[in-house]
Chain A
Amino acid sequence: MFYREAGDFKTSYRADSQTFPIRFDRYRYYVVLAIAFLVVPFIINDYWANAILLPFLIYAIAAIGLNILVGYCGQLSLGTGGFMAMGAYACYKFMTAFPDLSMFINVILAGVVTAIVGMLFGLPSLRIKGFYLAVATLAAQFFLVWLFNRVPWFYNYSASGQINAPQRTMFGVEITGPLAPAWATYLFCLVFLTLSALIARNLTRGSVGRKWMAIRDMDIAAEIIGVNPLRAKLSAFAVSSFFVGISGALFFALYLGAVEVGEAFNIQKSFLILFMVIIGGLGSVFGSFAGAAFMVLLPVALKVVGVDLLGWPTDTVAHFQLVIVGALIIIFLIAEPHGLAQLWRLAKEKLRLWPFPY
């Protein structure tokens, strides 16, 4: 009744090819943006920012990045944690080497550095694929983490081996360091998420994205119809690592503040992001959001139910979380391989006819 595309006429090519062609979708998108930018910053507090909103925003960027690689280009990567660490350390080096540089540029530069490293580790994808490639990307994970742990230049020879985000301001407001207000860090991450989602959405429906999808569906056939696998695969690795690097930089500078690389960016982080992509939906930008929200909210919800309601010890609840996550992955792969995004699509199909199905 409310959600329909009848009567939504286009009179120009421009209107026909816009990001959200259905008017209802477009308005909903504007409303969500308005709430996120204009309402949430005024009601946000430290608990909400640190427990839910900041992790969600940052993981969503990483999930978009990994989704481009796994969901759109079909190249499975288990090195996300390592690339996030690359972004974090690149950001740290830029922050300390050029104290006057704007934080915005720092994060972008961290993304660029990570993109270059990602392309380097993506080179084997030209010869191998599937889980061979997945194992090859593990090399990135372990090598990068080891590098940042063992080579003192990366952590500026600090005694603890940790990196700490120095204080930086933007428009006169602190956005890193312990004194940064919740709304400022939230807005900073939100800007990056919005830009990432816009770029990802438009890349994936343009010619670049179609090349990625052709490679994913059958790489030899794609090569025969004129897709250059070298450029398609490496561009997917570059764009994906760019987003993952940005998310790593934000994770370090704005969310954690201090990072010990073996803990913050270990292999579990790679799996966490991969699970977000699988549960959210392979090959869908919206799915990355849904998956990130799901995986951020699940531990919080389990803690509320298990610890607060049932009175179980926290470690038991943590073990339950493993069981539930594992079971969910299997269930989603069996029952709904396209994840939460597909459920959302089905809901929209139903809404189109609701409440008069015939």
Chain B
Amino acid sequence: MPDQVLFAMEVTLNGLMAGVLYALVALGFVLIFKASGIFNFAQGVMALFAAMTLVGIMEGQVPFSHLINATFGTDIHHFGWQVPALLAIVLTTGVMVVLAWCVQRFVMGHLVNQEPIILFMATIGLAYFLEGVSDLMWGSEIRTLDVGLPQGINETIDAFTYDLFGYGFFIDNLDIVASVIAALLVAGLVVFAQYTKQGRAMRAVADDHQAALSVGISLNFIWVLVWSIAGFVALVAGIMWGTKSGVQFSLSLIALKALPVLMLGGFTSIPGAIVGGLIIGVGEKLFEFLLGGLMGGATENWFAYVLALLFLLVRPQGLFGEKIIERV
């Protein structure tokens, strides 16, 4: 086979893997949107916050140490203990649940019945707030995160493809793990939504707030639940991206990448988030590979948005979204 085709195949595979990570972030958006009609712009910052908290807990760092040191003239940085990864993940999940409760209690609870656009702008405010808090709590340096996930080139695929084509594909182990985890997460969420009591209540709230209230479902509880799950998904996404490229501010920008994924797949569909993520992941890698050189490179910055923009002109509700019906 000619080299170009092989390269293209490798690029496609890598794009698929990147797409899985996009889908993971997009999933958090879909969950909150389905249950509360809120488009949560802060999802990416939540991933950053979760990853930062995880690193901070694992290393036994003192929260707000910079602030305390600056105010009282002390010099404290670490408690002096290391927390094992699994325990740290559990603790961080706890932090995300507390965060979900705070968001519901202090922000979204006050904005019930507001227009979606107001809620959207509130989550932009929330994103700024969380980013600031995260920086104040754990500092703003780039941190390395290692929870024991395998990394580096996958030897089996490399050897297998070398035998087959005479050219070894480079696929990162981490991407494979991420894909497996994403698949498990999606399966788990679908099971949760379909077969458990709380999951059914969640779907009822998504369908109609008032009807759900009238059959005795607590809106407050469901929303805290939904924000907690979104927080957990953010944690998983944060771990994946954090292991891949370090925990840093740019982590919060992947949320922006997830937006076109959502527009392509439809805001209300979990399969849509997955398929949209894969299309964007493969599309931007292939586009960069085929045309990026002609156009000056770094087309990944905008390809997803322009693709989504053009797609919206044809089908405003996305691939799997519900048809938008409007009445006066």
Contact = CB atoms under 8 A, between A and B. Distances in A.
Interface of A: 74, 76, 123-124, 127-128, 130-132, 134-136, 138-139, 142-143, 145-146, 149-151, 218, 220-221, 224, 267, 271, 274, 278, 310-313, 315-316, 319-330, 333-334, 337
Nearest to A331: B125
B126 A326 contact: yes
A127 B312 contact: yes
**Consensus secondary structure, chain B interface:** helix
A27 B305 CA distance: 49
**Consensus secondary structure, chain A interface:** helix
B5 interface: no
B297 A150 contact: yes
A116 B117 CA distance: 26
Interface stretch (B55-63, B133-141, B175-183): B133-141
B305 A142 contact: yes
A131 B122 contact: no
B204 to A, nearest CB: 24
Interface residues of B, number: 51
A142 B117 contact: no
A143 B117 contact: no
Contacts of B121: 76, 274, 278, 329, 333
Contacts of B124: 271, 274, 329
Contacts of B122: 329-330, 333-334
Nearest to A327: B129
Contact of B305 (A128, A143, A218): A143
Contact of A76 (B117, B262, B326): B117
Interface in B266-305: 267, 295-299, 301-302, 305
Given A220-B328, A333-B111, A326 B306 contact: no
A159 to B, nearest CB: 16
Given A76-B117, A138-B259, A313-B66, A326 B127 contact: yes
B98 interface: no
B130 interface: yes
Contacts of A315: 135, 140
Nearest to A123: B313
Contacts of B35: none
A40 to B, nearest CB: 32
A221 B118 contact: no
Interface string B103-132: 000010011001011101110111111111
Nearest to A322: B132
Contacts of A74: 117
Interface of B: 39, 66-67, 70-71, 107, 110-111, 114, 116-118, 120-122, 124-133, 135-136, 140, 256, 259-260, 262-263, 267, 295-299, 301-302, 305-306, 308-309, 312-313, 316, 326-328
Contacts of B302: 139, 142-143, 146
Contact of B259 (A135, A274, A278, A325): A135
Contacts of B129: 322-323, 326-327, 330
A319 B298 CA distance: 30
Nearest first, the 6 A-B pairs at minimum CB distance are A326-B129, A329-B125, A322-B132, A326-B128, A323-B132, A139-B305
A153 to B, nearest CB: 11
B316 A146 contact: no
Contacts of A135: 259-260, 262-263, 305, 308
A322 B111 CA distance: 22
A139 B125 contact: no
B296 A220 contact: no
Nearest to B129: A326
A124 B309 contact: yes
Contact of A130 (B111, B117, B256): B117
B132 A316 contact: no
A323 B136 contact: yes
Contact of B132 (A127, A136, A310, A326): A326
Contact of B326 (A142, A220, A271): A220
Which of A123, A146, A150 has the most C-beta atoms of chain B within 10 angstroms of its own C-beta?
A146
Contact of A330 (B116, B125, B132, B316): B125
Nearest to B127: A326
Given A138-B256, A334-B111, 9 more contacts: A124-B312, A131-B120, A136-B305, A138-B305, A224-B328, A319-B135, A323-B128, A329-B121, A330-B129
Nearest to B70: A312
